[in-house]
Amino acid sequence: MESTTATYEIACREIAELIQKGGLTEPESINRAKKEISARYKLCHIPKNSDVLRFISSGNGSSSSSELRENLKRKRMRTASGVAPVAVMSSPYPCPHGRCIMCPGGPYSDFGSPQSYVGREPAAIRAAQCNYDPYRQVTVRLHQLEEIGHDFEKVELILMGGTLTARPSYYQHWFVQRCLSAMNDFGKAKARQREVRNVGITFETRPDYAREREIDQMLEMGATKVELGVQHVKNDILEEIKRGHSVEDIIEATWKLRNSGLKVGFHLMLGLPGSSIEEDKRMFDRVFHDHRFMPDYLKIYPTLVVRGTELYERWKRGEYKPICEEEAIEIIAYAKRIIPKWVRIQRIQRDIPAQFIEAGVKKSNLRQLVKARLQTLGYKCRCIRCREAGLSQLQGRIVDESCIRLVTESYEAGDGMEYFISYEDVKNDILIAHLRLRLPCASASIHRAELMHAALVRDLHVYGELVPPGESKHASWQHRGYGTRLLKRAEEIASEHGYQKVAVMSGIGVRPYYAKQGYRREGPYMVKQI
């Protein structure tokens, strides 16, 4: 066994040396060399790129280490949006309101999993293997990203697993602090000596657990975005599924989060009991056009029937029929036709394995099926994800730098005006970078003292492949000054409207950047007098 392992490592080292000498630069030539060397050493399988990467040393060969790693990188979409997302799941804990009829999870469910999950999703499996220890979950995920060739210096932490803000305060603070400690320790390890910066923290919670007390606590822990389990925007449907909150709760949570400088995401479900195809289309009309909603991000989930739920029992009795694949495609294609360009659809379809779905849409490539339908109809989605530079490049759409322009759009949202300021390739409809500026109206309800009479920068993001601080990549748009120019333009707009102060909702690890732009810390914000 030891000799087999040694032979495998010798083969990996030989492949790495060939790459470093500049002899292998394309995926095809790398794969051909891997096959030839595997045959020569009589390996039982071809070496994985992640194993070859371990023998790529920095500073040697005709190309830099980072360029060599690009040739071996797997799952390029992971960091193509400019950050490394790391999802961490809290331990199983009951929801405070009880259990929705479609929810498969919870400590007392058939799965014994975190609320709303079956426990077989990738993040849930990783969490269970780590005994729901946040430190171990983050460390394992960063190791995985490193092994497949991704940079990990800019981490967006995503806190999942039910209503975290309903759990005891000490658990929440412990959970987040352990995540941050894991990032810090991972980067400082002797073999790396690379700083891992937290650029944002996302909390997933319920609208009725995103009020002032919960918002203040999330801000204290470093939150930059909150995703609300909205599910639908019609009260009788929320009552039918025993959701335990109302549309009024959704509206209140949305404007309080927005007026606290946070980004807001909605989780919406299709085909819920009491709804219909037309009702779901009206839901999207309302979400995109009613100023009381207007989320920045969306996740869209067709309702799935999973054993152990009340919905499963209704389905068995013939009292519920889930929407089919064709109906889901029709609804989502409609949503993508009317979606504003300042909204990002983060996910379409749950990642529940098909064998756990008793009825409903089982296809995992629903996004691609919707895209094909739109193309057939002569439309295309203009959401952020479908236009951002990094993902566009992976699809063969190249930015024409001569066509990059500064674009500003405004819209009413709650008790204020939102400005979506962006740099875009206007010829090819590719998004390079954007900033979300909020100007609360004079009568707006602001509960944070730091934000009184302030314009709010809720989001600043430059797209393209993740680039570590202090470095540059020809194929990426980060570290080229777009963020600084967007911030300057936001300050100008705020000043033009009579504001004398700008407050930025900054990730913990991004605060030094804003300090260089003349901002100073006030509570969870970076603030500047203009």
**Structure confidence at residue 63 as a pLDDT band (50, 70, 90):** very low
- Tell me how far apart the alpha carbons of residues 223 and 217 are, in angstroms, rounded to a whole number: 9
- Tell me how far apart the alpha carbons of residues 524 and 530 are, in angstroms, rounded to a whole number: 19
Contacts of 439 (CB under 8 A, 6+ apart): 416, 417, 418, 419, 455, 456, 493, 494, 497, 499
The length of the chain, given as a count of residues: 530
What pLDDT was estimated at residue 59?
Answer: 44
Write the DSSP symbol of residue 162.
S
What pLDDT was estimated at residue 29?
Answer: 81
pTM of the shown model: 0.89
Residue spans of the domains in the chain: they are 2-72, 75-205, 233-387, 389-529
CB 461 within 8 A of CB 422: no
Average pLDDT rounded to a whole number, residues 429-457: 95
What pLDDT was estimated at residue 17?
Answer: 84
Contacts of 502 (CB under 8 A, 6+ apart): 454, 455, 456, 457, 490, 491, 494, 519, 527, 528, 530
Tokens describing residue 60: 């040697």
Write the DSSP symbol of residue 240.
H
Closest Cα to residue 127, out of 167, 165, 86? Answer: 86
Q: How many CB atoms sit inside 10 A of residue 9's CB? A: 14
Question: Phi, psi (5° rounding) for residue 451?
Answer: -100, 5
**Structure confidence at residue 16 as a pLDDT band (50, 70, 90):** confident
Average pLDDT rounded to a whole number, residues 461-470: 82
Q: Is the pLDDT of residue 494 over 60?
A: yes
What pLDDT was estimated at residue 421?
Answer: 99
Tokens describing residue 49: 């790129």
Rounded-to-10 torsion of CA 169, 171, 174, 180: -90
Average pLDDT rounded to a whole number, residues 288-314: 97
Average pLDDT for the chain: 91
What pLDDT was estimated at residue 51?
Answer: 79
3-class DSSP state for residue 520?
strand
- Tell me how far apart the alpha carbons of residues 274 and 102 are, in angstroms, rounded to a whole number: 13
Pairing between β-strand 263-270 and β-strand 297-302 as defined by DSSP bridges: parallel
Q: Is the pLDDT of residue 110 over 90?
A: no
The half-sphere exposure of 265 on its side-chain side, counting CA atoms within 13 A, is: 21
Lowest mean pLDDT among 70-74, 315-319, 334-338: 70-74
| Architecture category of domain 389-529 in CATH | 3-Layer(aba) Sandwich (3.40)
pLDDT digits (tens, 9 = 90+) for 135-159: 999 999 998 888 877 788 899 999 9
pLDDT digits (tens, 9 = 90+) for 113-137: 998 899 999 999 999 999 999 999 9
Average pLDDT rounded to a whole number, residues 307-325: 97
Residue carrying structure tokens 């993902």: 391
| Category of 83 on φ-ψ map: left (φ > 0), alpha (ψ -120 to 50) or beta | beta
| Category of 498 on φ-ψ map: left (φ > 0), alpha (ψ -120 to 50) or beta | left
Question: Phi, psi (5° rounding) for residue 203?
Answer: -105, 135
Q: Is the pLDDT of residue 26 over 90?
A: no
What pLDDT was estimated at residue 62?
Answer: 39
| Exposure class string for 36-68: b at 16+ Cβ within 10 A, else e | ebbeeeebeeebebbbbbebbeeeebebeebeb
The half-sphere exposure of 403 on its side-chain side, counting CA atoms within 13 A, is: 11
3-class DSSP state for residue 106?
strand
For the chain, the C-alpha Rg in angstroms (whole number) is 24
Burial of 182 (0-12, 13-18, 19+ CB in 10 A): buried
- Tell me how far apart the alpha carbons of residues 206 and 173 are, in angstroms, rounded to a whole number: 18
pLDDT digits (tens, 9 = 90+) for 216-265: 999 999 999 999 999 999 999 999 999 999 999 999 999 999 999 999 99
**Structure confidence at residue 207 as a pLDDT band (50, 70, 90):** very high
Average pLDDT rounded to a whole number, residues 375-404: 93
Average pLDDT rounded to a whole number, residues 169-183: 97
